Amino acid sequence: MADLDSPSPAQAPAPAPVRARWPRWLRWTTALGVLLVLVLVAGLSTAVVGVRRSWPQTGGELSISGLDGEVRVVRDEHGIPQIYADSTHDLMLAQGFVHAQDRFFEMDVRRHATAGRLSELFGKSGLETDLVVRTLGWREVAEKEVAMLRPATRSALDAYAEGVNAYLEGRSTSEMSLEYALLGITGLDYQPEQWTAVDSVAWLKAMAWDLRGNLDEEIGRAIATATVGEDRAQDLYPGYPYAAHAPIVQQGGVVDGAFDQDATGSGAGSLARPPLGDPATVRALAKVRSVLAGVPALLGQGDGIGSNAWVVDGDRTETGAPILANDPHLGISLPGVWTQVGLHCRTLSAECPYDVAGFSFSGVPGVVIGHNRDIAWGFTNLAPDVTDLYVERVTGDEWEYDGQQLPLTRRTERIEVRDGKDVELTVRSTSHGPLLSDLARFAADEDVDVTDDGLLDQVDDVADAQDGGDAAIALAWTALTPRPTADALLALDRASDWTSFHKALSSFAVPGQNVVYADTQGHIGYQATGVVPIRRPGNDGRQPAAGWLKETDWTGDVVPYDELPNVLDPDSGIIATANQAVIDPTRYPPYLTSDWDLGYRSDRINRLLAADDELSVDKMTAIQLDDRSAIGEALTPYLLDIDLPHGYYSDGQRLLRSWNYQQDADSAAAAYFNVVWREVLSRTFSDELPTAIQPNGGSRWFAVVSALLPRGKSPWWDDVRTDDKVERRSDILRDAMIAARDELTALESPNADEWSWGALHELELRSSTLGESGIGIVERLFNRGGWEVGGGGSLVNATGWDARVGYEVATAPSMRMVVPMDGLDAARWINLTGVSGHAFHPHYTDQTDLWARGETLPWVFSEKAVDRAAGDVLLLTPEG
* 459-484 per-position pLDDT tens digit: 444 434 333 456 899 999 999 999 99
pLDDT band of residue 287 (cuts 50, 70, 90) is confident
pLDDT at 443: 75
* 542-558 per-position pLDDT tens digit: 888 889 999 899 999 99
CA 282 to CA 227: how far, in whole Å? 10
pLDDT band of residue 306 (cuts 50, 70, 90) is confident
Q: Select from 702, 694, 700 the least CA-distant residue to 674.
A: 702
Q: What is the dihedral of CA 583, 587, 591, 593, to 10 degrees?
A: 30
* Cβ neighbours for 579, distance < 8 A, ≥ 6 positions apart: 306, 307, 380, 381, 382, 383, 514, 596, 597, 601, 602
CA 744 to CA 713: how far, in whole Å? 29
Whether 307 is catalytic is: yes
The DSSP line for 248-305 is S--S-EEETTEEETTPPP-------------HHHHHHHHHHHHHHTTS--SS--STT-
* Most confident option among 126-135, 213-222, 257-266: 126-135
Q: Is the pLDDT of residue 239 over 60?
A: yes
Please identify, among 710, 732, 755, the residue that sits at the C-terminal boundary of a domain: 755
Residues 640 and 743 in one domain: yes
Residues 789 and 723 in one domain: no
pLDDT at 471: 81
| Position 573 in a domain | no
Q: From the candidates 54, 290, 307, 507, which is the catalytic residue? A: 307
CA 848 to CA 78: how far, in whole Å? 11
Residues 736 and 779 in one domain: no
Residues 663 and 702 in one domain: yes
Please identify, among 727, 755, 783, the residue that sits at the C-terminal boundary of a domain: 755
Mean pLDDT of 554-566: 96
Angle of the 668-685 helix axis to the 630-640 helix axis, nearest 10: 80
| Position 422 in a domain | no
Residues 740 and 773 in one domain: no
CA 699 to CA 717: how far, in whole Å? 20
Q: Which of 331-335, 445-449, 518-522, 629-633 has the lowest mean pLDDT?
A: 445-449
Mean pLDDT of 632-661: 97
| Position 793 in a domain | yes
Q: Under a CB-based contact definition with an 8 Å cutoff, are residues 846 and 365 in contact?
A: no
| Position 780 in a domain | yes
Q: Encode 722-754: b = buried (16+ Cβ within 10 Å), e = exposed.
A: eeeeebebebbbbbbbbbbbbbbbeebeeebee
Residues 749 and 664 in one domain: yes
- Looking at residue 150, its amino acid is R
| Position 78 in a domain | no
Please identify, among 721, 755, 789, the residue that sits at the C-terminal boundary of a domain: 755
Residues 655 and 693 in one domain: yes
Residues 768 and 737 in one domain: no
Instruction: Return the ∠ at Cα 73 (arms to 69 and 76), rounded to 5°.
Output: 165
- Looking at residue 271, its amino acid is L
**Does the annotation list 388 as a binding residue?**
yes
Q: What is the percent of the chain where pLDDT is above 70? A: 89
Residues 669 and 723 in one domain: yes
Give how many domains the chain has, as a whole number: 2
Q: Is the pLDDT of residue 265 over 70?
A: no
| Position 656 in a domain | yes
Q: For the domain that residue 636 is a member of, what is the CATH number?
A: 1.10.1400
Q: Select from 311, 334, 218, 333 the least CA-distant residue to 273.
A: 218
pLDDT band of residue 296 (cuts 50, 70, 90) is low
Domain that holds residue 771: 764-811
Residues 707 and 737 in one domain: yes
Residues 790 and 683 in one domain: no
Q: Under a CB-based contact definition with an 8 Å cutoff, are residues 875 and 858 in contact?
A: no
**Does the annotation list 218 as a binding residue?**
yes
| Position 1 in a domain | no
Residues 770 and 662 in one domain: no
28 DSSP 8-state letter: -
Q: Is the pLDDT of residue 142 over 70?
A: yes
| Position 421 in a domain | no
Q: Under a CB-based contact definition with an 8 Å cutoff, are residues 178 and 28 in contact?
A: no
* 852-876 per-position pLDDT tens digit: 999 999 999 999 999 999 999 999 9
